[in-house]
Structure 1
């Protein structure tokens, strides 16, 4: 035992001396191992800190409360313990529908455990016509909430970021998202609860965060101080008829847990309950969980598989990059190892020395990287929390993750060092001590590369086959692509041998470099494979993001030409329509752009609470003629002909042609003429009947009676839209209102400035229009903005860095082993620049071969990823189909740039002069 311990101690002393004597090479291996371990260590801390467990979710949903209750149904129900699955076998409506929320709350209180009470939350959605403040920016809707969040029973649900909680009427706090838009403590808010109530002034006294406050624009006040009681005074059935967006939820607070039996009792009155006690210890339950719960579990499994596969590919990349560097050390240390063998060291001792030296490098670098990565991850989470990212539940550092990363980094280096260690153990000691060079890797053994090609083909087939349907499994796709890449890596040696046989027409330096690379495959194949893997991953990413950019550009629906200003009036179906004007808004626009440059369109007026719908009937036997979509007919009898559509301006519009002229940028002269002649302009062939008419169903309904009544069909002359861009809805001529039996009111304003507005001008114009009280939306067309330009540049930089590292670790070894060859060439008359040209050629050969293979395989992988993204829209329109796009400028930059850069670096960093080598004698 003592002898074995002494032997291992001696081996590690030798390993440490080897590391000290080759600090540059050791540092190179350490950096290659440390960088991915450091990156994954940071990701581990950030990911685990952002992953919500059950306790985090419960705290975000209900704070310290025992349960959350929602009034889900008007009859008894059954629910799963997690409240994800709900079912009922009762079809008769009970008396529950006659209760209003307050009455239902009183009923619900009788089903609670002893000592518990209900804490209600009430909220509704409002728009910018009801809530305004000085300097407000753009927002579509706002939540007005009443909730006593200071109650100790819900501690932890809402975080007081600044200020204090409201304690009287007229005081509110705001969500942190609203605070980020410029509203702060002390600000005054003008609030109109309903059309029948006068405006009131609210004072902001604080800012809060929480599960909803970090993503929802909201103001919160004391119970009974903000929302009009008529929102909640109606019974459940009456409220559903009016489609009021007014919600009441209850939190159960108190010392007693809400048991499964309590949940089932509350189910009898249509309540769905999420109980802390039940979720923490769920009972056995016969009803299957909701389908989306299974989907969530499956999604988590898919995510775990994808993360594992990507981590494996990263470690493979590390092995490929570190392999040539380890080979450099083993080859340069051959003489020392030969001396050890001559002194009596066995083959196993030599193998252990090589493994120990590299294992120590991997272990130390992995430990340091894990420690540093953990500190960086902690700093990142601390910064995110400091900057207000309250969606992070906690700081979570897991020692098991870090130990796993250290083990993975160390094992990766050890596995990579196995081949050099075996070669060192089998070396010819006499030949090494006399200075004779190795003869190379020998002939290609076909079994491994042919197996690699078969594996690559199988992986690609799995990935492609998985993407054939409308619903694909991302884990299978990523796994198939990973197998495809591993198979290509296995076949690199054969590809290099084939390339070396086809170099006869090339200059001498390139022939020498390629044949030397083929002869010394043990050191060059990992480098070529590393370049291949890096370029393939980067190319796949480039193809994917270029295709995504193209898809977004094609599907982007502009409001009009760049700079267009479109102003929407108050929605007559939502707001008080007794007075529907745009005179003040039109004056603001006229002062800014000139009265002759502003056009107004009309919409249907809602009189006495009666709303009107206009729905063109589908033409008989229509097959969607003219549609560019691949599926012109479907079971829904709907045509998707929106490929050239602009953004809608809201509702059915009536126009004399002036608005359409501006919106279409003057490209729809025939449409404008048709409107002026009294014809309807329809966007889809399905709306146009054979006699060039449109049959419009005119339906009327009220909020109290939402079912359509008084439906009549009116026939109007019509034409199909012909402009380069068309509106997605029909445009009616003004004179059609009389035939349709409707009255019109101003609906909006449009103008096309001669020069696009700057951001400050847009803000000033929006504020001026908001102050008129006649506007619900202001839209300024900015055109499509590139989304992935920085991503593409980052990918190019990463690909270039990894590929060059892999190239020059192999070039360094090649240069060390080619000294005798270069000296021999110099002795027979070769010029001093030969060594530089050889180094440049070796860099170009390795980078060029790996880059070519990587671009081809990466493009194939990118094609598979595009197929994976296609099902999102393939059933509906060509706009939704992802097209396979090759970003040629970026790919040519990789194909030509990497080999040229590698050659240039090799040429300018290599000394031209080298002393003649002599053979060492024994």
Structure 2
């Protein structure tokens, strides 16, 4: 008795032999299905291996210690922290009171009898083979067993003396140094010898140097202070080992002493959220991602996977149809010997099953091999080492089942088509009369209308982009379902074409079973490309319209805020030497305190300045009130809107600049006005007379002067600001000249000469330079300038104004190339099937005297016709999702704008307008170049002469 098992076993054996006979076609389909499986499986292996277990994370964070103690700088007040130790806040709610700050004596929180290892981190500019490099410097006894795992040694040895260091491999590569080289720091003449190389497993690209505790930071700070500069700060944490470790209750007890604890025991066994006091505090809850957000992510992932499977099925389906057509005599023999239609379907479906299983095994095995082989490359790319090579069998099995499912889905339509063919037609090779389905186009049209309505609803009513994407996907599937009918409509254009393209088009229409899937595959690929390209081009047009130049076109600026502008002269010379400078304007900044103080520094001995705004010129919306709070809350929305639109104090025009200095005050000369394109003879005259040139009406008092307050006590100034009082400090009043009109100043609000600043008792330090150029600098000049800046070791804030730059052009080109490759592949598959089907027609053409080149020409036009139909339909289908998403973005922007206007926060009453731009260049490339390229490629790879025909056995 024969069962379904025996029939399917036989079908699979037949399919396996047929796949082995047709190795080329089988390899093509296997590759199409296996490549996505390879990529997804490799991604799964990489992500899972890079996810560290709590134990691995603890080893890299705290080594072999039981905990790391650190100072949150709250002055020792009790705190709350999360179990990991990343978040913390004072336990007390201070409200409007002064927030606690200051160092905490962490050593007092260490239990008696515990072993402690200090870990101090800071930064310094270290000498290299190329100049200077800003580098993290860490003081940790790395050879101690407690530090095991924090910085694994790659070669050499750990430091044993105070003049020895080890460095990360990335630092050695970047600096040009090696083991045995010496290095030192800027303003510090003590040499250190490199005795080893190590890595930080979680930051392989970090530039770091390690020394013994006390060997670098303390003497370096003294040397920097001796040079009259502000030394960089350093932070110290404590690695603690204690028998029994630190439980969560012990961590909370230590938190009462104002110390943060990262405990190994807590990392391995974290407490419930209800046991974490921090999570019970308002605004500090341990919020998980919302169910709606998870559902949206799953829906997006499902949509992407579904569309990818659809694309593969559409590409692989014609290939299975090729196999069914070439095996039709064999399938006819099965029917002649008593086989039912179900047996025919089983044989063709078994072909999909065999190829799917082979693709699943091949993709999974290759993913395992490649991920293992490329592990060092992947780790370097990700910047961190894997924990353990983590293989999740169930996840890989699920990914592999997608390959099997894809193979089966791709073979369904060819299986049904083959089973409907009569035994006589299969044995004689006759095609019979074929009629297209009249139901499928109606279903497709319905899907297009419903999908379009859903996308329209999502773009006009809802704010969920997933609705637009889902509706667009449904509409695209509807277009796919309508493809056979649309192919028929394309056939009506054949009457105006020459012979070869007319034959190709009529052949495509006559054999829609093989043409429609290939056209649909091209349609899907092109639709995605057109959608992304249109959205990106529209976004790019929006950014271009909103772009605000920070300098005149071709102008350049370079600033150094560190170390009192010590490297500014070298920056100016490098700029003059490498760029085609027309006019260079050197600028300085007002400095209060020690020369090495950076702006806004709160270190001892450092101060700041502020441009005094006269009380009558202050915008009421921004005047601080006693006790803190937002001063604008005392106004109604209508009052706020009136102030912003009608009160000159609240709507002074401004513009963004390349750098911020308090009050927009620069110290320079009239050359700066020329570089910025500001033409005003009165301004140049005012600078020569020792006045401040101002572009802000609010800065000038009733006496025509500008006041500059020097603040030496920052703590007192902050307290006065909280209480709504003026900051204490000496005010220098300097006569001012206001430039008439509202010229574009690129962030400059006030300008005075160095002589004027000196006369007013203000100290200045070099800041940098502005420069105009007589032509746009070339790429080679920019690279040379960057190289010279890197040798300085300072952070140079450099800007070259090039206008709006399209950063997505390379992405659009890549998308067009990708769509072209998929299009050519799909069209090539359809052409191969067409040649298999049209062999008799080609022999007939040769018999009636057609030249040999007709075969090559016809193949080219067959491929080009399929590509052209798919590109045209895909271009139309791809515009819908892009337009829907842009309309959704526009609604969101309009809603935000209306809310801002209603609440009185915006003076711009013009609603935003997000343009929808069609990338005609991309579309032209797809519509012209892709079909033409597909046709030429098919013509080149097709033989002009076919094999000699022999008489069929009767």
Does the 8 Å CA contact 1:613/1:699 hold for their aligned counterparts?
yes
| Aligned residue runs from structure 1 range 807-826, under 5 A | 807-821=827-841
Tell me the equivalent position of 2:406: 412
Does the 8 Å CA contact 2:458/2:888 hold for their aligned counterparts?
no
Find the aligned partners of 1:150 and 1:658 in 2 and give their Cα distance.
Answer: 58
Aligned-partner SS, 1:14: helix
**1:858-887: CA deviations, max 9, x gaps?**
344445666788989998999x99865544
Tell me the equivalent position of 1:460: 455
**1:317-336: CA deviations, max 9, x gaps?**
11111011111211222222
Does the 8 Å CA contact 1:33/1:362 hold for their aligned counterparts?
yes
Aligned-partner SS, 1:709: coil
Aligned-partner SS, 2:589: strand
Tell me the equivalent position of 2:484: 493
Q: CA deviation at 1:517?
A: 3.5
Query: Could you tell which deviates more after superposition, 77-86 or 252-261?
Result: 77-86
Find the aligned partners of 2:652 and 2:30 in 1 and give their Cα distance.
Answer: 57
| Aligned residue runs from structure 1 range 409-558, under 5 A | 409-445=403-439, 446-454=441-449, 456-457=451-452, 460-461=455-456, 464=459, 482-483=473-474, 485-501=476-492, 505-507=496-498, 509-510=500-501, 513-543=504-534
| Aligned residue runs from structure 1 range 197-346, under 5 A | 199-210=189-200, 213-228=203-218, 245-286=233-274, 288=279, 290=284, 294=288, 306-346=300-340
Find the aligned partners of 1:920 and 1:768 in 2 and give their Cα distance.
Answer: 81
Tell me the equivalent position of 2:749: 730
Q: CA deviation at 1:152?
A: 1.5
Find the aligned partners of 1:152 and 1:257 in 2 and give their Cα distance.
Answer: 16
Find the aligned partners of 1:634 and 1:79 in 2 and give their Cα distance.
Answer: 48
Find the aligned partners of 2:315 and 2:146 in 1 and give their Cα distance.
Answer: 57
Name the CA shift for 1:640/1:262 in 2 (closer, same or farther; >3 Å): farther
Find the aligned partners of 2:578 and 2:939 in 1 and give their Cα distance.
Answer: 63
Select 2:159's aligned residue among 151, 162, 166. 166
Count of paired positions: 870
| Aligned residue runs from structure 1 range 389-788, under 5 A | 389-445=383-439, 446-454=441-449, 456-457=451-452, 460-461=455-456, 464=459, 482-483=473-474, 485-501=476-492, 505-507=496-498, 509-510=500-501, 513-543=504-534, 564=556, 566=558, 568=560, 570=562, 572=564, 599-607=585-593, 609-614=606-611, 645-646=657-658, 652-662=665-675, 664=676, 668-670=677-679, 674-678=683-687, 698=709, 700-703=711-714, 705-707=716-718, 708-710=727-729, 716-719=736-739, 726-734=745-753, 737=757, 742-750=762-770, 758=781, 761-762=784-785, 765-766=788-789, 777=796, 779=798, 781=800
Does the 8 Å CA contact 1:558/1:647 hold for their aligned counterparts?
no
Query: Could you tell which deviates more after superposition, 265-274 or 788-797?
Result: 788-797
Select 2:83's aligned residue among 81, 104, 108. 81
Select 1:144's aligned residue among 137, 152, 169. 137
Tell me the equivalent position of 2:14: 14
Does the 8 Å CA contact 1:444/1:493 hold for their aligned counterparts?
no
Q: CA deviation at 1:482?
A: 4.6
Does the 8 Å CA contact 2:824/2:934 hold for their aligned counterparts?
yes
Find the aligned partners of 1:4 and 1:325 in 2 and give their Cα distance.
Answer: 27
Name the CA shift for 1:493/1:639 in 2 (closer, same or farther; >3 Å): farther
Is 1:360 aligned with 2:354? yes
Is 1:899 aligned with 2:931? yes
Tell me the equivalent position of 1:23: 23
Q: CA deviation at 1:259?
A: 1.2
Q: CA deviation at 1:894?
A: 1.5
Does the 8 Å CA contact 1:766/1:778 hold for their aligned counterparts?
no
**1:888-919: CA deviations, max 9, x gaps?**
33331111111112222344444566799999
Find the aligned partners of 1:161 and 1:639 in 2 and give their Cα distance.
Answer: 60
Name the CA shift for 1:418/1:88 in 2 (closer, same or farther; >3 Å): same
Name the CA shift for 1:272/1:591 in 2 (closer, same or farther; >3 Å): closer
Normalising to structure 2: TM-score of the pair? 0.77
Find the aligned partners of 1:592 and 1:437 in 2 and give their Cα distance.
Answer: 75
Q: CA deviation at 1:218?
A: 3.3
Is 1:154 aligned with 2:140? no
Does the 8 Å CA contact 1:670/1:722 hold for their aligned counterparts?
no
Does the 8 Å CA contact 2:472/2:880 hold for their aligned counterparts?
no
Find the aligned partners of 1:333 and 1:593 in 2 and give their Cα distance.
Answer: 71
Aligned-partner SS, 1:728: coil
**1:327-371: CA deviations, max 9, x gaps?**
121122222211211111112211111111231122123312321
Find the aligned partners of 1:384 and 1:309 in 2 and give their Cα distance.
Answer: 28
Does the 8 Å CA contact 2:16/2:351 hold for their aligned counterparts?
yes
Query: Could you tell which deviates more after superposition, 153-162 or 891-900?
Result: 153-162
Aligned-partner SS, 1:143: strand
Q: CA deviation at 1:691?
A: 11
Query: Could you tell which deviates more after superposition, 266-275 or 749-758?
Result: 749-758
Find the aligned partners of 1:146 and 1:334 in 2 and give their Cα distance.
Answer: 77
Does the 8 Å CA contact 1:37/1:409 hold for their aligned counterparts?
yes
Does the 8 Å CA contact 1:34/1:366 hold for their aligned counterparts?
yes
Query: Could you tell which deviates more after superposition, 592-601 or 369-378?
Result: 592-601
Select 1:121's aligned residue among 114, 119, 122. 119
**1:439-473: CA deviations, max 9, x gaps?**
3342432442024314532563476469x76xx77
Query: Could you tell which deviates more after superposition, 580-589 or 79-88?
Result: 580-589
Does the 8 Å CA contact 2:860/2:934 hold for their aligned counterparts?
yes
| Aligned residue runs from structure 1 range 771-850, under 5 A | 777=796, 779=798, 781=800, 791-821=811-841, 835-850=855-870
Does the 8 Å CA contact 1:162/1:207 hold for their aligned counterparts?
yes
Is 1:35 aligned with 2:35? yes
**1:191-224: CA deviations, max 9, x gaps?**
368xxxx653333333332266535443332222
Tell me the equivalent position of 1:239: none
Query: Could you tell which deviates more after superposition, 757-766 or 33-42?
Result: 757-766
Name the CA shift for 1:899/1:763 in 2 (closer, same or farther; >3 Å): closer
Name the CA shift for 1:760/1:312 in 2 (closer, same or farther; >3 Å): closer
Name the CA shift for 1:172/1:902 in 2 (closer, same or farther; >3 Å): same
Normalising to structure 1: TM-score of the pair? 0.80
Aligned-partner SS, 2:119: strand
Name the CA shift for 1:855/1:680 in 2 (closer, same or farther; >3 Å): farther
Tell me the equivalent position of 1:889: 921
Find the aligned partners of 1:656 and 1:732 in 2 and give their Cα distance.
Answer: 8
Name the CA shift for 1:643/1:428 in 2 (closer, same or farther; >3 Å): farther
Aligned-partner SS, 2:746: coil
Name the CA shift for 1:496/1:590 in 2 (closer, same or farther; >3 Å): closer
Tell me the equivalent position of 1:235: none
**1:400-438: CA deviations, max 9, x gaps?**
343333221121011111121122222222233344314
Name the CA shift for 1:514/1:116 in 2 (closer, same or farther; >3 Å): farther
Query: Could you tell which deviates more after superposition, 863-872 or 161-170?
Result: 863-872
The answer for unaligned runs of 5 or more in structure 1 is: 233-241, 624-630
Find the aligned partners of 2:189 and 2:880 in 1 and give their Cα distance.
Answer: 62
Aligned-partner SS, 1:157: coil
Tell me the equivalent position of 2:108: 107
Does the 8 Å CA contact 1:176/1:213 hold for their aligned counterparts?
no
Find the aligned partners of 1:96 and 1:605 in 2 and give their Cα distance.
Answer: 28
The answer for unaligned runs of 5 or more in structure 2 is: 223-229, 595-605, 623-642, 719-726, 898-905
Find the aligned partners of 1:509 and 1:301 in 2 and give their Cα distance.
Answer: 52
